[in-house]
Amino acid sequence: MGAIIEVRDFSMRFGDLTVIDHLSFDVLEGETFGLLGSNGSGKTTTIRALLDIYQPTGGSLNIEGHPFNPSQSARLGYLPEERGLYQKESVIDLMTYFGRLKGLSRRDAQAWSMRYLTEVGLPDKARVRLDKLSGGQQQKVQLGVTIMNDPAILILDEPTKGFDPVTRRLLLDLLDRQKARGSTIVFISHQMDEVERLCDRILLLKDGRAEAYGTIPEVQDKYGGRRIRLEFIGDLPASELYTPVVHERNYAELDFGEDTDPDQVLRDLLDAGVRIRSYDLTRISMEEVFLRVYGADAVKEA
Amino acid sequence: MGGHNFRTVVTFEFLRTVTKRRFWVMSLSIPLLLALVVTLTTISSRSQNPTATSTAFAFQYHDASGLVTPQLAKAFGVTPTTDPATAVAAVRAGTLPAFFDIPADVGTAPVQVYGEDVGLIGNSRYDSVAQALVRAAVAQKIGDPRLARLAASGAQVTSTIYNKGAAVSGFASVVLPGIFLVLFYLSIVMLGQQMLNVTLEEKQNRVSEMILTTMSPTTLIIGKVIALVGVGILQALVFSLPVLIARLVAPGTVHIPGLSLSDIPIDPLRIGFGFVIFLFSFAMFAGFLVAIGAVMPTIRDASGAFSAVVVTMFVPLYAVQLVVNEPHALLPTVFTYFPLTAPVTALLRNALGTLSWYEAAIVVVVLAVMSTVMLRVGVRLFQTGSISYTSRVNIREALRRNR
């Protein structure tokens, strides 16, 4: 898989404030890529610069080999963090307009819109004005506009923010479908369960710089490596091999580094008289990674 | 793709306006209102123009001048009296509708009219009937109908005025170049607020980012302006419907008093300059509105700046006497070349024929430069400002941030 998005040495300053500082990363064709970070870390700025809404102070941001141009919009679906649609228009007129802007003929745009509205249970709302729809129905229309014409690249900034559970489920199903079709998905989120479930690779931004970049296991390994979850009887001894991050009466989670053999950890516990009822080997969650990188305050803000 | 998107924006923006019921209610209400006013005025003026046979009330009169003959009094259906005091008392008591006391010399003393109160509007009929009675009496005294008409309405005058040896067409020559001043005024009054709304609606609906990934801000803005011009033209056609219908149904009923279409001279140079000045003025105004819409977060915030621009543009009208009588004085000259006041001043002077071709050319250049600059600045501010959803945009920072 080649890189479909290439960001090289990208910097962005607003006045004296440096928001992004020499950032480089690639998004590979067909992968789901997570762009993570606390509020103000520069995620949305990076996406806006990638889509030519902001002009970068330095560096280059390319989609399919060159800076983004609106003529590429036919292959791109974008769901911004701040989102909305023309409230006074009918659903079908609105969707047809965006379809036309994405290069479809009027007839094709209307046909695609009606298929989508039928799929999401809104075929009878086609002629209804958007401001007459419920919040959840408007969100479905917004999603339809984003994935209009099955784009090759989807860029979603906090896609589930403000969505009700039904629309959130619909979004996740649509993403699965788009991924199965080979679309590349760039995903900004604070929902670490979604990130773990959907993303192939991630970039953690902190203060405008790449804090971590790679597959989810690679990033998890960087911030604590592996973990043994243990149900036991007896007293858990102190050891240099591991660090207990959870320690209850008969349950513990022990973190250990890359250099430590987990078999050695279990042998030491048995030697100390601990009766092990069950165990499994896992990695620390992305939520904990987030906590370690940005601190508890940032997690609360997110 | 750019051309396709431009057409798509123009079509979408035009249709979304003209397919709304509110647009047609608003647009049709104005010609209907005009037709109603014209009809009422016509009816009213007919009722205010009484003749001997249309006098709808009986009255007495006392004629010290001897102008009113018994035949005329009979025609008006009125009776003379020799006792003005009794007649006035009868009117006051409500037993006599009206009494007119005509003095010995109607040229120096007024006709005294006494009437029974029939309401503010209705009371005016007494004066009208008194006037009609005296006018008819004077005409009868003169004898010759032509002289009587002359005495009533004065002589017709045809003037030929020369400017450097060439005959000047007078008021008729103002009509065609003056149309552009009227058009400019109407376009600002009718389209200004709408234009401000459309430049803010992407921001207010949080749709800017999605739109800006499908087309350039220039395509969006110019597309919106063109669509609104189309809406304006349609509205103008709707407004002129009553005149068009009247001309078709009853030719000759619609005319400008004292002006025949064949009298209107066609001066291609002044009409051409008028058109070009109007075009660049409108473009500059659109640029200002785009910039205001981009910088301000809400329509409420933008309205103050919008009003300031409109007021500045029409400031020359406060000095219209000076602009008309002394077009080359300092103030009219400043107004002519200062970009914001140039449209109204230059279009007015062009209509009056006091703007020479080289002055008009300078104004065109000033407005062309200013409209280009303002549209470019407006588009650049829009690119940043349209995603600044809650706060005012720092203009310097926004201009520096974007190309």
CA distances for B172 relative to B256, B260, B268, B321, angstroms = 11, 9, 14, 20
The Cα–Cα gap between B240 and B315 comes to: 28
pLDDT tens by residue, A49-63: 999 888 899 999 999
Residue-wise pLDDT tens digits, A112-146:
999 999 998 999 999 999 999 988 888 889 989 99
- Helix count and strand count (H, E) for chain B: 17, 6
In a domain, A43, yes or no: yes
Among candidates B159, B165, B170, which has minimal Cα distance to B352? B170
Query: Which candidate, A123, A92, A122, places its Cα nearest to that of A107?
Result: A92
Q: Average pLDDT, whole number, for chain B?
A: 83
Q: Is the pLDDT of residue B339 over 60?
A: yes
Average pLDDT of span A64-73: 88
Instruction: Write out the E strands in B28-160.
Output: 59-63, 79-80, 98-102, 112-115
Q: Does any domain span residue A289?
A: no
Q: Indicate the burial class of A287 (C-beta count within 10 angstroms; 0-12, 13-18, 19 or more).
A: middle
pLDDT given at position A101: 92
Model confidence band, residue B370 (pLDDT cutoffs 50, 70, 90) = very high
Closest chain B residue to A16, measured at CA: B397
Give the ipTM. Answer: 0.79
The Cα of B21 is separated from the nearest Cα of chain A by a number of Å equal to 12
Which of residues A219, A240, A272 is at a domain's end? Answer: A219
- In the prediction, which pLDDT does A124 show? 95
Nearest to A70 among B216, B389, B403 (CB): B216
Query: Quick one: A85 and A12 in the same domain?
Result: yes
Residue A202 has pLDDT above 60, yes or no: yes
Q: Are residues A96 and A146 in the same domain?
A: yes
Q: Rounded to an integer, what distance in angstroms lies between the CA atom of residue B189 and that of residue B311?
A: 12
pLDDT tens digits, one per residue of B232-253: 888 888 877 777 777 677 666 5
- Beta-strand runs (E) in B53-160: 59-63, 79-80, 98-102, 112-115
Strand partners, A109: none
**Minimal C-alpha gap between B224 and chain A (Å):** 14
Contact across the interface for B212 and A51, Cβ inside 8 Å: yes
pLDDT given at position B47: 58
pLDDT of residue B11: 93
Cβ contact, residue pair A55, B5, below 8 Å: no
Q: Is residue B112's pLDDT more than 80?
A: yes
Q: How far, rounded to the nearest angstrom, does the alpha carbon of residue B180 sit from its chain's CA centroid?
A: 12
Q: Which residue has the higher pLDDT, A270 or B43?
A: A270
Residue A295 located in a structural domain = no
- Which has more pLDDT, B136 or B361? B361
Residues of B in contact with A14 (CB under 8 A): 397, 401
Chain A CB contacts of B402 under 8 Å are: 54-55
User: Is residue A302's pLDDT more than 60?
Assistant: no
pLDDT at res. A293: 82
Q: What is the DSSP letter of A240?
A: S
| Location of structure tokens 């103030």 | B331
% of chain B beyond a pLDDT of 90: 19
| Tally of domains in chain A | 2
Do residues A91 and A163 share a domain?
yes
* Pairwise CB contact (< 8 Å): B205 & A85: yes
Q: Residue B51's pLDDT is what?
A: 53
Nearest chain A alpha carbon to B403: A55
CA B119/CA A1 separation, integer angstroms? 92
CA-nearest residue of chain A to B398?
A: A14
Note whether A211 and A268 are same-domain residues.
Answer: no
- Amino acid present at A292: R
Label the pairing between strands A17-28 and A3-14: antiparallel
Mean pLDDT of A240-262: 86
Q: Which residues of chain A lie closer than 8 angstroms to B214, CB-CB?
A: 70, 73, 98, 101-102
Q: How many CB pairs under 8 A join A and B?
A: 87
User: Mean per-residue pLDDT for B111-137?
Assistant: 84
- Cβ contacts of A73 on chain B, cutoff 8 Å: 213-215
In a domain, A84, yes or no: yes
Instruction: Give the architecture (CATH level 2) of B59-153.
Output: 3-Layer(aba) Sandwich (3.40)
Q: What is the DSSP string of A183-200?
A: -EEEEE-S-HHHHHHH-S
Q: What average pLDDT does this structure show over B299-328?
A: 89
Chain B positions touching A48 (Cβ under 8 A) are 209, 387
Q: Are strands B59-63 and B79-80 parallel, antiparallel or unpaired?
A: parallel
pLDDT of residue A232: 92
| Listed residues A203, A219, A235: the one ending a domain | A219
- pLDDT category of residue B203 using cuts at 50, 70 and 90: confident
Q: Does a structural domain hold residue A300? A: no
The pLDDT > 70 percentage for chain B reads 89
Q: Kindly state the average pLDDT of the residues A82-91.
A: 89
pTM over 0.80: no
Residue with tokens 């309205």: B303
Does the pLDDT value for residue B56 go beyond 70? no
Please, are residues A264 and A240 in contact by the beta-carbon 8 Å criterion? Answer: no
Give chain A positions within 8 Å (CB) of B384: 54
- Does the distance separating the beta carbons of B207 and A101 come in below 8 Å? no
- Radius of gyration (Cα) for chain A, nearest Å? 23
Interface test with B, best of A100, A138, A186 (most B CBs within 10 A): A100
Q: Higher model confidence: residue A257 or residue A219?
A: A219
User: How confident is the model over B292-304, as a mean pLDDT?
Assistant: 84
Element (H, E) at B173: helix B171-204
A174 in the same domain as A69: yes
CATH code of A196's domain: 3.40.50.300
Least confident of A117-126, A187-196, B309-318: A187-196
In this predicted structure, the answer to whether residue B45 has a pLDDT above a threshold of 70 is no
Separation in Å, CA B71 to CA A42, B60, B136, B392? 100, 15, 11, 81
- Tell me how crowded residue B204 is: count the other CB atoms within 10 A of its CB: 17
Q: Are residues A129 and A247 in the same domain?
A: no
Query: What does the block give as tokens for B397?
Result: 């920072």
Report the distance separating Cα B173 and Cα B353, nearest Å.
8
pLDDT at B260 (0 to 100): 65
Q: Which range of residues forms the domain containing residue A232?
A: 224-283
Is it the case that residue B389 has pLDDT exceeding 80?
no
Which pLDDT belongs to residue B360?
94
Domain span(s) for CATH 3.40.190 in chain B: 59-153
Facing residue for B209 by CB, picked from A53, A89, A145: A53
A299 in a domain, yes or no?
A: no
Do residue B213 and residue A51 have CB atoms under 8 angstroms apart? yes
Indicate the length of chain A as a whole number.
302
Rounded CA separation A187/B219 (Å): 29
∠ CA B331-B332-B337, nearest 5°, is 100
Angle, vertex CA A175, rays to CA A173 and CA A178, nearest 5: 110
**C-alpha angle B114/B119/B123, rounded to 5°?**
35
Are A206 and A231 in the same domain? no
When scoring B213, B393, B400 by the number of chain A Cβ atoms within 10 A, the one with the most, hence best to mutate, is: B213
Residue A186 pLDDT exceeds 90:
yes
**3-class secondary structure, B108:** coil
Across the range A75-88, mean pLDDT stands at 88
* CB-neighbour burial class of residue B119 (10 A; exposed 0-12, middle 13-18, buried 19+): exposed
With contact defined as beta carbons under 8 Å apart, do B341 and B367 qualify? no
User: What separation in angstroms does the CA of B360 have from each of A80, A166, A233, B214?
Assistant: 48, 65, 99, 40
In the structure, what pLDDT confidence band is assigned to residue B48 with cuts at 50, 70 and 90?
low
- Indicate if A271 and A159 belong to the same structural domain: no
Q: Do B209 and A71 touch (CB under 8 A)?
A: no
Same domain, A46 and A75: yes
Instruction: Tell how strand A76-79 and strand A153-157 pair up.
Output: parallel
Within 8 A of A16 by CB-CB distance, chain B residues are none
Distance from CA of A264 to the nearest CA of B (A): 55
pLDDT at A257 over 80: no
Chain A interface residues facing chain B, Cβ-Cβ under 8 Å? Answer: 14-15, 48, 51-55, 68, 70-71, 73-74, 76, 78-80, 82-89, 93, 97-98, 100-103, 145-146
Rg (alpha carbons) of chain B, rounded to whole number: 30
Are A55 and B389 in contact (CB < 8 Å)? Answer: no
pLDDT score, position A220 = 84
Burial B215-235 (b: 16+ CB within 10 A, else e): bbbbbbbbbbbbbbbbbbeeb
pLDDT tens digits for B177-202? 888 998 888 888 888 888 888 888 88
Is residue A88 a part of any domain in this protein?
Answer: yes
* Cβ-nearest to A53 among B206, B387, B397: B387
- Give the model's pLDDT for residue B158: 73
- The answer to whether residues A52 and A179 belong to one domain is yes
Tokens 């005091």 appear where?
B85
SS3 state of residue B215: coil
Per-residue confidence (pLDDT) for residue A275, from 0 to 100: 93
Average pLDDT over chain A, rounded to whole?
Answer: 88
**In the prediction, which pLDDT does B250 show?**
67
Q: How far is B185 from chain A, CA to nearest CA, in Å?
A: 29
Q: Outline where DSSP puts E strands in B89-193.
A: 98-102, 112-115, 161-163, 166-168
Residue at A49 is within a domain: yes
Closest-CA distance of chain A to residue B397, Å: 7
Q: Does pLDDT of A27 surpass 90?
A: yes
DSSP letter, residue A90:
B
